[in-house]
Structure 1
Amino acid sequence: MSTKRPDAATRRAQLLDAADAVFAAHGVTAPLELVVAQAGVGRATLYRQFPDRSAIMLALLERSLQQTQEVADQLEDDDEAFFKLLQRVAERIAVSPPFVDYWRTVERGDEIMALARNRLWQVFQAPMQRAVEAGLCSAALSRSDLLLVFGMLGASLRGETPSQRQALARRALHFILEGLRA
């Protein structure tokens, strides 16, 4: 009797889950052996999927953007979608400070980051406009304003423990939402 091996997509997701957990706990410079151990796979499996740490980070960024887009799609008819998406970003920042710090170190003109910021803007644009039209948001933000909001949410990175970061993220989000709500 043979056991069926998981397909490449399953292994990839398994490795990304492991990398996310390892990097959140130990930083993005953690040995990739920890990712392999967390995923319960062999080293060759990791390198078949991701040739280096940078490839893992790019895949994590892509997955985060895709998940944010999926949440936005689910909230398509919700006038509160803009605020719920901001809450999701705040929570993500609070639980993955090393990941956020990694991307903060990338140069401002980096093409990949420019594309990521553009995608994030596109995800937020329609929900923000819907909130303005529904009278829930005082005014539409510019692209640079939205990036500033994300930077403000990044203040939660100053917390030393996960619970402190979550509390700071909630507090920052509260101030931001108070300023944005009509």
Structure 2
Amino acid sequence: MSTTAPELKRIHHVAYRCNDAKETVEWYERVLGMTYTTAFAEDKVPSTGEDDPYMHVFLDCGGGNVLAFFELPGQPAMGRDPNTPVWVQHLAFEVADEAALLAAKAHIEAQGIAVLGPTFHGVFRSIYFFDPNGHRVELACNIGTPEQYAELKRVAPLMLDEWSQTKRAPRHAEWLHKDPNA
């Protein structure tokens, strides 16, 4: 039997856990300008039938992208994987350009939120901060040229193969590490 991979249209939504649905919705509206669109609340999980009350909230991030959260009052307190560094798991959103990134940083800091960056990543710059649930959030703006993105696409398979063999950072795109503004 032959099968074909599905033709995906977009990410429908990405869901994370939150401590308090109302606080989370208000924070994402105030800090990042997202629009709260939908909520589902159930006492039983539709897919499994388990008795586990939840509130599932959805926020429009723009461009057809949706970020969702679950508040699970019947479950143990939220935690994070202690074996994964805090900088690894994060939500990243794109802003238009460096001016928008710096304006966002000023807005977020004015909310009393500590912001790290901007950080140079070769073809984009980012800032980082945490939401009220402890999720790390990144705002990024692309700064690369079409030629740089084409080169990254070209070397991606080479880098993955080398990484798979050595577990050390391949240097096929060494130019990425040279910040022209530094």
Structure richer in strand, relative to its length: 2
TM normalised by structure 2 equals: 0.25
Higher relative contact order (CA 8 A, sep 6+): 1
Report which of the two structures shows the higher radius of gyration computed on alpha carbons.
2
TM normalised by structure 1 equals: 0.25
Structure richer in helix, relative to its length: 1
